[in-house]
A and B are shown apart, each in its own frame.
Chain A
Amino acid sequence: MSQDTLFDKVWDLHKVSSLPGGSDQLFIGLHLIHEVTSPQAFGALKDKRLKVKFPDRTVATVDHIVPTDNQNRPFKDNLAEQMIETLEKNCLEHKIKFFNIGSGNQGIVHVVAPELGLTQPGMTIACGDSHTSTHGAFGSIAFGIGTSQVRDVLATQTLAMNKLKVRQIWCDNKLSKGVYSKDLVLHIINRLGVKAGVGFAYEFAGPAIHELSMEERMTICNMSIEGGARCGYINPDEKTFSYIKNKLCAPKNEHWDKALRWWKSLKSDENSIYDDVIKLDASKVEPTVTWGITPGQSISINQQIPLLDDLSQNDKLVAKEAYEYMSFKPGQLIKDTPVDVCFIGSCTNGRISDLRVAAKILKGKKVSKNVKAFAVPGSEKVATEAKQEGIDQIFKDSGFQWREPGCSMCLAMNSDKLVGNQVSASSSNRNFKGRQGSPNGRTLLMSPAMVAAAAINGKVSDVRELIN
């Protein structure tokens, strides 16, 4: 059992009681909600005649269902309109702070909370969304929950949970030029598998992680869940603190000094004990692309799609399914695969630094005429910043559509969808069957830089050839 890791410290601090069944009652410091997984939870509160215990500890925004072309109300989609209205009504009734469209702070919940300074080291953070692991980049313990647990957090600010084991993933050296944190996390998931993290929290550590910016760290923690780990985190350091400083909800004045002292005491001890440790060399990671139907089915840009014989017995079943669904042949190169749609956005890679990287590649170039390309900023703040820097114009000049913030085609709950068996180069997090809105649509996950390269060439490309 792990000892003295940041995970242990934060868990123990928030433990309210040991429940009769053997799980722990855990206090949730920050609860984030959105329109998709909260309505039934508020409904359950009403049925049970319960109130929200600490309305100040819950913050709401709207992201999954929002249109990215025309956000005028009422939305064209009646169901989407009904969902946003339900959230508005619930927040008003229960006095919950809601960042609505046009507030200047709306966006994907996992982009918004960090940029507002809500996400801080040492907190427990829960949200009815599996990518809540993103917030672990700040040294918080953050994880996704279902609607019944959203109900419990609203009613009690606590939930029942079994403590996770801790696996440290130590990344030596640093990423090479043209290789990004998305490539690193895809590489990790490929190496460990999509279920290795079940029952674990992942601690990402080592020189390569230390080197990453906060936004790059968020990309890594975001995708912990794709490796099966409900929670992923990174010990906080100076980069963490300076990212938070002066944000809207960051501690101010004398509170800042107190907060800083506490945050500095939070990291895993040097001699802490882990349930498991994995080491890898980040300098060996290359631009990585998924070829299959799970985020674990990825290869480096110059590799061939694996042969059945190259795979373990356990991986063969899903690989067969993937060859068929993707219409790929074992042994085929992923490079030069034609793409129909290019999507830059999502809670994984829809932040300003992601857009900057892509814009640098797109500047002065044109999107291939066979490709529909669109960029969806992760939040209103990201969109504003991009406009101030002229990034939106670079995207538009290249032939990208520039959209309003939201989750968009990461999961296609709005009208941004693949059609038929289109192939999409996507900076999002999931390549599941049907994920991007068409029951036979095909998704290739990659870094925003790689999506930009694919957009220009109309096919999967090695971005390093464009930046050298």
Chain B
Amino acid sequence: MKLEFTPPIGKISNMKGQCISLIGNDIDTDRIIPARFLKCVNFDSLGESVFEDDRKTLKGKHPFDLEENKNASILVVNSNFGCGSSREHAPQALMRWGIKAIIGESFADIFYSNCIAIGIPCFTLPKKSLEEIQNYCDNQSLFLEIDLRNSSAKSKDLNFNLEIKESSRKMFLSGEWDATSTLLENKNLIENKFNQLPYIKFSTNFL
């Protein structure tokens, strides 16, 4: 785990880093960060607890505990990663451990939105390509250079065309992935919508 943590800010167009492979389908957010660590009012100390129970079970052999992975920043996973609970604590814990981007076969919807909202691009690749990366990582370190402008991933031996939702790609390139200010720009439209909605008028009591 990195001692210094600085959250991403502004435009994100490329990233370089070592891959860390985590094999398994349907890895849920309870496993990424067990619920007992959600008893907090900020995200600061979550990095050290990422995959806590899985790591304990594997007694030092979990990818997040291996010495050779300690500087890795690109997480490579399989399908339906991040399913289950909506806890943003899951990507926050990954990010605080050092993860800056994730490549997988597929991601759960809420997990994906949470990643985008905090500046972690999630890319997809076909199963076969992922297996290729994961096999490669079994034997040696893989350093990837990802370019969001053309969604490519390059390394000494392997090259891939990554997929990412066009809306997410544009948001990272323009630096508008932190949505609040973009949403606030439409202040008048929001007021208009509020006034148009039929049910606002027939609400009672404190609403």
Chain A residues with CB under 8 Å of chain B are 13-14, 16-17, 19-23, 25, 27, 29, 36-37, 39-40, 43, 48, 50, 53-54, 56-57, 59, 64-65, 77, 79-80, 82-83, 86, 97, 118, 120, 122-123, 128-130, 132, 143-149, 151-152, 155-162, 194-195, 198-199, 225-226, 228, 230, 248-252, 255-256, 258-259, 262, 294, 296, 314, 317-318, 321, 411-413, 430, 432-435, 437, 439-440
Interface residue? B80 (CB, 8 A): yes
Tally of chain B residues near chain A (CB < 8 A): 70
List 19 A–B pairs whose Cβ atoms lie within 8 Å, in order of A's numbering: A21-B170, A21-B174, A22-B166, A23-B167, A36-B87, A37-B88, A77-B39, A80-B39, A122-B198, A156-B183, A158-B186, A225-B110, A228-B80, A228-B108, A262-B199, A411-B35, A411-B85, A412-B36, A413-B35
- Interface 9-mer from B23-31, B66-74, B136-144, B145-153: B23-31
For A82, what are the chain B residues with a Cβ–Cβ distance below 8 Å?
A: 41
Q: CB < 8 Å: which of A22, A40, A145, A434 contacts B30?
A: A434
Q: CB < 8 Å: which of B39, B174, B183 contacts A79?
A: B39
Q: Which residues of B in the span 177-196 have a Cβ within 8 Å of any Cβ on A? A: 178-180, 182-184, 186, 189-190, 193-194
Q: Is the CB of B24 within 8 A of A146?
A: no
Q: Is the CB of A130 within 8 A of B193?
A: no
Q: CB < 8 Å: which of B83, B113, B199 contacts A195?
A: B83
Minimum CB–CB distance from A363 to chain B (whole Å) comes to 34
Measured between alpha carbons, how far is A252 from B202 in the docked complex, in Å? 8
Minimum CB–CB distance from B101 to chain A (whole Å) comes to 17
CB nearest neighbor in B for A151: B180
Minimum CB–CB distance from B177 to chain A (whole Å) comes to 9
Q: Which residues of B in the span 23-79 have a Cβ within 8 Å of any Cβ on A? A: 23-26, 28, 30-31, 34-36, 38-43, 53-54, 56-57, 78-79
For A434, what are the chain B residues with a Cβ–Cβ distance below 8 Å?
A: 30-31, 34, 53
Q: Is the CB of B202 within 8 A of A439?
A: no
Measured between alpha carbons, how far is A86 from B180 in the docked complex, in Å? 23
Measured between alpha carbons, how far is A252 from B201 in the docked complex, in Å? 11
Q: CB < 8 Å: which of B80, B89, B190 contacts A158?
A: B190
Measured between alpha carbons, how far is A12 from B84 in the docked complex, in Å? 27
Minimum CB–CB distance from B124 to chain A (whole Å) comes to 11
Q: Is the CB of B83 within 8 A of A228?
A: yes
For A318, what are the chain B residues with a Cβ–Cβ distance below 8 Å?
A: 24-26
For A48, what are the chain B residues with a Cβ–Cβ distance below 8 Å?
A: 180
Minimum CB–CB distance from B8 to chain A (whole Å) comes to 13
Q: Is the CB of B184 within 8 A of A79?
A: no
Minimum CB–CB distance from A328 to chain B (whole Å) comes to 17
For A251, what are the chain B residues with a Cβ–Cβ distance below 8 Å?
A: 199, 202-204
For B182, what are the chain A residues with a Cβ–Cβ distance below 8 Å?
A: 19-20, 160
Q: Is the CB of B198 within 8 A of A262?
A: yes
Q: Is the CB of B190 within 8 A of A86?
A: no
CB nearest neighbor in B for A43: B42
Q: Is the CB of B79 within 8 A of A57?
A: no
Residue interface mask B115-137, A partner, CB < 8 A = 1: 00110000000000000000000
Q: Is the CB of B203 within 8 A of A432?
A: no
Interface residue? B14 (CB, 8 A): no
Pick the 3 closest A-B CB pairs, nearest first. A146-B88, A255-B202, A146-B114
Interface residue? B6 (CB, 8 A): no
For A317, what are the chain B residues with a Cβ–Cβ distance below 8 Å?
A: 23-25, 78
Given contacts A413-B39, A434-B34, 11 further A-B contacts (CB under 8 A): A16-B186, A21-B167, A25-B186, A25-B189, A149-B114, A156-B183, A255-B202, A258-B202, A318-B24, A413-B36, A435-B35
Q: Is the CB of A118 within 8 A of B207?
A: yes
Minimum CB–CB distance from A49 to chain B (whole Å) comes to 11
A22/B106 contact (C-beta < 8 A), A16-B190, A314-B25 known: no
For A43, what are the chain B residues with a Cβ–Cβ distance below 8 Å?
A: 41-42
Q: CB < 8 Å: which of B79, B183, B197 contacts A25?
A: B183
Q: CB < 8 Å: which of B56, B114, B167, B201 contacts A162?
A: B167
Interface residue? B176 (CB, 8 A): yes
Q: CB < 8 Å: which of A97, A155, A294, A435 contacts B180?
A: A155
Q: CB < 8 Å: which of B109, B174, B198, B204 contacts A228?
A: B109
Q: CB < 8 Å: which of A22, A40, A248 contacts B42?
A: A40
